[in-house]
Structure formats: structure tokens, C-alpha cells
Amino acid sequence: MYGVRMEFEQILNDVVGDVRASLGKGSVANYIPALAIADPTKFAIAVATVDGGLYSAGDANDRFSIQSISKIFALSQAFAILGNDLWGRVSRENAGSELNSLLLLELGAGMPRNPLSNSGAIVTTDVILTENGKETKNVLLEFVKERSGNSEIGFNEEIAQLEVEHGHRTKALSYLLASFKNLENHPKTVAMLYFYQCAIEANCVDLAKSLLYLTNKGYCPISGRQVISASQARRINSILLTCGHYDVSGDFAFRVGLPGKSSVSGAITVVVPGKMAIAAWSPALNRDGVSLVALEALELFATKTGLSIF
């Protein structure tokens, strides 16, 4: 697609070389011990193209908990279930604040600012729970397995338990949502399922493949299923662009120019509509909570390939 295959692989290898000097800068998340022990010198990048190409470089087989990347999958499923009624329960505006703000939720009278904030993801999880009942935990996991084509993907139980144990603020958000009657299920159950989906473990190759449906008008070429409509895929991409990186989505759009989502474990996933999905990972975060090296790598990648939606 972009010159011969070798040329494309060369770009990824060049990116690995270029970011080497930055490895170790930034700090790994430490709100739970299992994340605090992540090796900050790890780095991987993977690209999956809609026409079946797969390219990767660095520690592409290393698994990590996907954390907030799961919010994309929860949003997709909730949007498929409720259609536009979803927007009666969650807005589509950048939060301009930390991702787990109780204050914003209070000010919004229980309406999360967007589905990629913690409160927004609790609402999308609640929608999935109402639809699937006791099967929900499995449904959340199956979604990632089917999209990536990797049946080995599972939960990291230790991380899930630690999230449940330490996630006081997220639990508070669930109860606040319930107080505003924006949850249909018990806040404790919804929060537990939210934590579990954050604890799904995958590698960069899995994540790049799993997002192909968003590059491909809602059709997942791996499972052969229309996951969401083309219109829904377009709309989710717009939310990724405007709300995917906490308080610095504008900076990400400026530097990378593509819809994407950051996570506290150091993964960043990016969608190039019609072309490919990219996942980059390095555990150390910058002051904004975005992976310092993954961001640098994606900026370099976008510059070298000229891929941007602008």
C-alpha cells in the first residue's frame, strides 16, 4: 500500500531506533502495584491494514492490561445496542479535566461528558450489562477476542482484583451515576465489570487488529461481522479524535492528526479511516498521563508516512 512491504517495515524499524533515546523517560502508573512494576524501557508498535497486512516492531508480543482502550470496545457495543438513544445518557464533549472527575459529573447532573471518560465508560458498560445480564463479563472479553482473532486473550485476574480494591474514585462515580438514575444496574456490579474490561490483557498486534472495524466502516474483516454501522464507526472516530486523550486530545490531534485513545498502561491505539489501525505501547507516561514514547512514536510514524486525516 505504501510502497513495497519492506519500505513499510523499514519505517517501523526506523521509529524504534528514533525513540530509543526517550525510553525510560516519564513515569509508569503507580495507583496499583501491578502497573508500578512495568518495565519503562519496553516499546512496541504494530500496524494492521484493512487489506490484511500486519507489521510490527519492538516488543510486539509483550502483553499488558488494555485499561482505557477498553472504553472504545464498550462504546461500540453500547452504541450497537441503543443506537442514538445512547446520547440521552452520555454527552460527546471533551471533558477538559481529569478522566475521573466527580465534579464534572455532578455539574452535568449525572450526564458524563463523553463515553471515553471513566463515568462515560461506566454508563456504556451498564448498557451492555442490561442487554447481556450474567453473560456480560464474557461478552466483554469475547468482543476483543473476536475482533483480534486471538482466542488466547484473557483477563489478568491480579490486575482486575487490584483495580476493584483501589478504584475508590471509579466506584464513587458509579454510585454518583446511580444517584442521578443514570444506571440501570447496581453500581457495584457495573464498576466491577468496568474494572474487568480494563484488565483484559493483549499485545500491540492484538490491539491493532482489534480496531480494524473502526477503519473499515464498522465491518470487522477478522470475524467477518458488521459490528456497528458505517455511520456509527464514523461517529466513534470523531469521539476518539476529540476526547481520546484526557485533557490533551487537542495536542494529540495537533501532533498525530488521527483518531486515537490513550491508556494508563502506556498503550495508544490509533485509527486511520479506510486504511489501517495502529497500536503503540510503552509503559512510562508523560505528565498528561499519555505514554511518552508511544506518543513520540506515533507522531514520527504519522510524519514519515504522511498519514493524517487533515
Question: Is residue 291 within the footprint of ligand GLN (CB under 6 A)?
Answer: no
Q: Which stretch binds ligand GLN (CB under 6 A): 51-59, 162-170, 247-255, 270-278?
A: 162-170
**101 DSSP assignment:** -
Q: What's the DSSP call for residue 285? A: B
Alpha helices in 149-284 (DSSP H): 157-166, 168-179, 187-198, 204-210, 212-215, 230-243, 249-255
List the one residue from 176, 198, 202, 212 that touches ligand GLN (CB under 6 A). 198
Site string for ligand GLN, 213-252 (x = CB under 6 A): ----------------------------------------
Distance of CA 112 to the CA centre of its chain: 17
95 lies in the binding site for ligand GLN (CB under 6 A): no
Of 72, 177, 208, 264, the one binding ligand GLN (CB under 6 A) is 264
Element (H, E) at 78: helix 70-82
User: For the chain, how many helices (H) and strands (E)?
Assistant: 14, 10
99 lines the binding site for ligand GLN (CB under 6 A): yes
Binder among 45, 47, 57, 67 for ligand GLN (CB under 6 A): 67
- Sheet containing 200-202: order of strands: 64-65, 200-202, 154-155
Q: Please tell me whether residue 174 binds ligand GLN under the rule CB under 6 A.
A: no
126 makes contact with ligand GLN (CB under 6 A): no
Amino acid at 189: T
**Is residue 123 within the footprint of ligand GLN (CB under 6 A)?**
no
**Residues in contact with ligand GLN, total (CB under 6 A)?**
11
- The helix/strand/coil state of 276 is strand
Q: Which is nearer to ligand GLN, 11 or 190 (CB)?
A: 190
Could you tell me the three cell numbers for 102?
466527580
CB of 239 to ligand GLN, least distance (A): 15
- In a 10 Å sphere around its CB, with 0-12 CB exposed, 13-18 middle and 19+ buried, how is residue 98 labelled? middle
DSSP 67: G
Q: Write out the binding residues for ligand GLN, residues 9-48 only, by CB under 6 A.
A: none
The binding site for ligand GLN (CB under 6 A) comprises: 67-68, 99-100, 118, 163, 167, 170, 198, 263-264
